[in-house]
Structure 1
Amino acid sequence: MKTSQADILILPGLKGPDDDLWLTRWERKLPTAQIVGQPDWHAPNASEWSARLGGAVAQATRPVILVAHGIGCHVVAHAVKAGIDLGPVAGAYLVAAPDPQAADAAPAHRAFGAPALTPLPFAAALIAARNDPHCSPERARAFARAWGAEFVDAGESGAIDSAAGFGPWPEGLMRFAGFLKTIPSVQ
């Protein structure tokens, strides 16, 4: 699949889109991409954010590819568990999922609730760093197994955010292109 064949819905994490972050840059660079807005970027709510995702998917005119960062990864899993219609979704590219149940989890991550560990009914890849301050590599691998996602080790990349130096993230865009190649095109 090519980016031009899909509606790319981007789900930022806590604090929302950051002008320097790779996902905001991707939205500007990829003509079929758009960020799914949320009512309060500082207080993620699983039900509200999942409903917003469902509404954005319902507006899609092509197969949907989800690109999620941070708590946005959990929004995808919660939407599946809640039974929200994500029928047009062909794949999910998940980056740096935090562990809301970690002892040192950010209060907003903890308030989001327990992770939904439901298999995703579409192709998925979870990219995670060995030194992510919000999730241990073991927990990230457990999320990938539960979701049926391919696990991609991003090395020593922190939270894969702008604070960790991931503004443009060309390697991530190349990995995304590789992920898209695994998804059959719809004629």
Structure 2
Amino acid sequence: MKASNILLLPGWQNSGPGHWQSLWEVRHAYHRVEQHDWMRPLRGDWSARLEETVVDADGPVVLAAHSLGCILTAWWAAHSPNAHRVVGALLVAPGDVEQPDLAAQIHGWAPIAHQPLPFPALLVGSRNDPYCRFERAQGFAQAWGARFTDLGDRGHINAESGLGDWDEGHGWLMQIVAQGADVPAQP
């Protein structure tokens, strides 16, 4: 799979230079899905941008989502006729936009889609994520049909978590890519 077909889906406010997504973009030339407005995210706009990016890709894609990017993935997959183009996803630290403090800051993202994803996924959660209770992250994994990995006490699994390039996460992404390479191409 081409590096440009691995799509990075940052969350609210984008991923800064020390975030594992940004480090992977620089190191591996993965493609960040750029949103029109990172500070005032609109679910329809973000979904349309992801749809355009997936449709424009020259083959199957793998998603590497963080925080609101996970919620975007679930919503988009539940509504897109092109979800079959995705062969797998790494979903890291979903942001619970139904949590009152987040819902007050990020309008229009509730309800969260709870349909099973039409592609294999791994959800990585943290026991002390301030934006999503651990049990809630496990519930998302179950609803979406994703495997779940407990990363322990790593906060929001972002730059502040001290992960650097996060080689362990990248290894999981490479497993997803390898599994996706075994999937026959969809018309």
* Residues 110 and 163 of structure 1, relative CA distance in 2, 3 Å threshold: farther
Aligned to 1:169: 166
| Cα separation, 2, equivalents of 1:109 and 1:175 | 29
Alpha-carbon displacement from aligned partner over 1:19-49 (angstroms, at most 9, x marks no partner): 1100011111223x10001011011111110
| Cα separation, 2, equivalents of 1:83 and 1:62 | 16
Aligned to 1:17: 15
Alpha-carbon displacement from aligned partner over 1:45-80 (angstroms, at most 9, x marks no partner): 111101100000011112100010000001111112
Bigger fraction of residues in helix: 2
TM-score (norm 1): 0.90
Aligned to 1:105: 102
Identity across the alignment (%): 37
| Cα separation, 1, equivalents of 2:64 and 2:103 | 22
Q: Which amino acid aligns with 1:24?
A: S
| Structure 1 residue 101: Cα displacement | 1.2
Unaligned runs of 5+ in 2: none
Counterpart check, 1:117 vs 2:89: no
| Cα separation, 1, equivalents of 2:117 and 2:32 | 21
Q: Which amino acid aligns with 1:26?
A: W
Counterpart check, 1:82 vs 2:115: no
Quick check: 1:6–1:63 contact (8 Å CA) kept in 2? no
Aligned residues: 184
TM-score (norm 2): 0.90
Q: Which amino acid aligns with 2:45?
A: E
| Cα separation, 2, equivalents of 1:141 and 1:110 | 23
Quick check: 1:98–1:109 contact (8 Å CA) kept in 2? no
Q: Which moved more, 1:91-100 or 1:111-120?
A: 111-120
Aligned to 1:8: 6
* Residues 99 and 47 of structure 1, relative CA distance in 2, 3 Å threshold: same
| Structure 1 residue 165: Cα displacement | 1.8
Quick check: 2:20–2:163 contact (8 Å CA) kept in 1? yes
| Structure 1 residue 106: Cα displacement | 5.9
* Residues 157 and 171 of structure 1, relative CA distance in 2, 3 Å threshold: same
| Structure 1 residue 87: Cα displacement | 2.5
